[in-house]
Amino acid sequence: MKDKIAFVCQRYGLEVNGGAELYCREMAEKMCAVYDVEVYTTCALDYVTWADHYPAGTQTLNGVTVHRFPVERQREIKAFNRLSRRVLETPEHTAEQEEKWVDDQGPFCPQLLDVLEREQHRYRAVVFMTYMYYLSARGLPRHFDNAYLIPTAHDEPAIYLHYYEKVFEGAKGFIWNTPEERAFVEHRFPAVAGRPGTMAGIGINVPAGPLPPVPEQLRDEPYLVYAGRIEPAKGCDSMFEFFRRYKREHGGQLRLVLMGKAVMEVPKADDIVELGFVSEEMKFAVMGGAKALVLFSRFESLSMVVLESMAMGRPVLVNGGCEVLKGHCLRSNAGLFFDNYVEFAATLRYLLDHPAEYAAMCENGKEYVAQNYQWDKIVARVAGLLSA
């Protein structure tokens, strides 16, 4: 009989393709090789309102037992944004306002936590996913004896709320994504420094079999690729500004190719190509045909797309203001980083004008992913932590 472990995540399902939630599902499925895995989650699919989508109850999904609970109160986003401005932007707010912010952030599901608290001793470990949301923020302060946290933490306003001190202190141990994440959290919450932990991350697997051909308009001309939500929070406004200025100053045939949902206006230009949502196979094919992947985001705790690009043998060009992304570049020697437009233009020119160094970076990226981001190694590290 295998020991049981439980994951706790705000959303869970095949239709949930967000970074942290996808990471949780893949981790839960891979850990089935060692443990009997169960998941506690809500019925929500939409992360804005947390409206129920899935039926409540228990089901089996890809070998994992999934317990779903209805969200008891949907989030009213305009009211929540007003509260966020009060709590996150003004130091004069109260502890009660912080707690209301945590509850309104959601998904508000106290029933799930009540059931889990009763059932916790059936599990060798209860692994909470993502520090910020309600299930972790209200669950970890209940002081489970076997609680672990995958923080997916980075330098952002919410993590400086006093409330989160008891959230992090409620974890027995941590599953980290990067050394930069661990260093940041232990500096922000000194009480957790030295607690058990392991470096995990996510396994990167290129789809088996031949990849499809890239769309015809991308063939025979160089392009940069961006993959993810197209929004200002990911730095896409700066991405468009820098790319268009670069093209005005340098000319050439280079294009910028976008994969993902646009939630902001995309400039209309012949050298900016929107592909929208694409299949996993097409995503990897487009990455593999690019000169490099660009990511202007300052707030990343791991970045799957950076690792996927490296796995395809393509360097990355990233925002140096994000310590996690900079760390990937420094450890792998498979990417460059910038802090302003002048540095962006210079690093891009370096990739385009130094073919020998570029080829070495392509190989370095593949080796970095092979050594650090394969599921067999990640499962062994996590199992070593949870079984200690």
What per-residue confidence (pLDDT) applies to 18? 67
- In this structure, are 97 and 72 located in the same domain? yes
pLDDT tens across 348-380, in order?
A: 999 999 999 999 999 999 999 999 999 999 999
- In this structure, are 27 and 130 located in the same domain? yes
- In this structure, are 168 and 233 located in the same domain? no
Residue 211 included in any domain: no
- In this structure, are 124 and 261 located in the same domain? no
pLDDT band at 299 (very low <50, low <70, confident <90, very high): confident
pLDDT tens across 82-133, in order?
A: 999 999 998 889 999 999 999 999 999 999 999 999 999 999 999 999 999 9
d(CA 155, CA 164): 13
- In this structure, are 222 and 189 located in the same domain? no
pLDDT tens across 211-251, in order?
A: 999 998 898 889 999 999 899 989 999 999 999 999 999 99
Assess whether pLDDT exceeds 90 at residue 209: no
- In this structure, are 66 and 78 located in the same domain? yes
Rounded to an integer, what is the distance from CA 328 to the centroid of its chain? Answer: 14
- In this structure, are 154 and 226 located in the same domain? no
As a whole number of Å, the CA-based R_g of the chain is: 21
- In this structure, are 155 and 298 located in the same domain? no
Residue 209 included in any domain: no
Residue 49, token pair as written in the block = 């309102």
For residue 245, give the H/E element and its range: helix 236-250
d(CA 120, CA 142): 11
- In this structure, are 163 and 14 located in the same domain? yes
- Give me the DSSP letters along 126-194: EEEE-SSSHHHHHHGGG--TTEEEE----S-GGGGSTHHHHHHHT-SEEEES-HHHHHHHHHH-GGGTT
Residue 257 included in any domain: yes
Total Cβ atoms within 10 A of residue 219: 9
- In this structure, are 251 and 298 located in the same domain? yes
What strands lie across the sheet with 36-42, from one edge to the other? 57-61, 64-69, 36-42, 4-8, 125-129, 147-150, 173-176, 197-199
Residue 198 included in any domain: yes
Locus of tokens 């009480």: 191
pLDDT tens across 168-195, in order?
A: 999 999 999 999 999 999 999 999 999 9
Share of the chain above pLDDT 90, in %: 88
3-state DSSP assignment of residue 385: helix
Count up the domains in the chain and report the number. Answer: 2
pLDDT band at 1 (very low <50, low <70, confident <90, very high): confident
d(CA 365, CA 313): 6
Domain range for 89 is 4-203+374-386
- In this structure, are 33 and 180 located in the same domain? yes
Report whether 151 contacts 201 (CB < 8 A).
Answer: no
pLDDT band at 302 (very low <50, low <70, confident <90, very high): confident
Q: Which residues pair with 61 in a beta bridge?
A: 64
Indicate which CATH number applies to the domain containing 131.
3.40.50.2000
DSSP 3: P
- In this structure, are 253 and 154 located in the same domain? no
3: Cβ contacts below 8 Å, ≥ 6 apart: 35, 36, 123, 124, 387
Whether residue 190 has a cis bond before it, omega within 30° of 0: no
